[in-house]
Structure 1
Amino acid sequence: MPQLNPAPWFAILVFSWLVFLIIIPAKVMSHISPNEPATMDSKKHKTESWDWPWQ
């Protein structure tokens, strides 16, 4: 049965893992987000308690 011969399938497995571990992360990490996150001001927002009408 040809499925039991590991020679071609092992090379395909190794090359596919090389692509997944080396090439794809490098391409993904090279992208720059068009909308960089803005820094928020450090002042606290005033929160008010909510008066429940039934209590």
Structure 2
Amino acid sequence: MPQLNPAPWFAILVFSWLVFLTILPPKIMAHSYPNEPTPQSTEKPKTEPWTWPWH
């Protein structure tokens, strides 16, 4: 049963994780979004009460 021999599969696992952790993050972090978020003000806008004609 070759699946139980950990020698080649462990090396493939370690190598693939090294590729994922060294090559892919800089490529992902270099991506720029077209709409950068703008910081919102923490002040609440002043609201005016509505005058409803209930009568």
Q: TM-score, with normalisation over the residues of structure 1? A: 0.63
Aligned residue pair count: 50
The answer for the alignment partner of 1:16 in structure 2 is: 16
- Which runs of no fewer than 5 residues in structure 1 stay unpaired? 51-55
CA RMSD after TM alignment: 2.5
2:30 matched to which residue of 1? 30
- Matches of 2:19 and 2:49, distance apart in 1: 55
**CA displacement, residues 16-49 of structure 1 (integer Å, 9 cap, x when unaligned):** 1112222121111011111112344565401356
Identity %: 70
Q: 1:6 to 1:41 in 2, by over 3 A?
A: closer
TM-score of the superposed pair, with normalisation by structure 2? 0.63
Structure 1 outlier segments of 4+, above 2 Å: 38-44, 47-50
Partners of 1:46 and 1:12 lie apart in 2 by 61
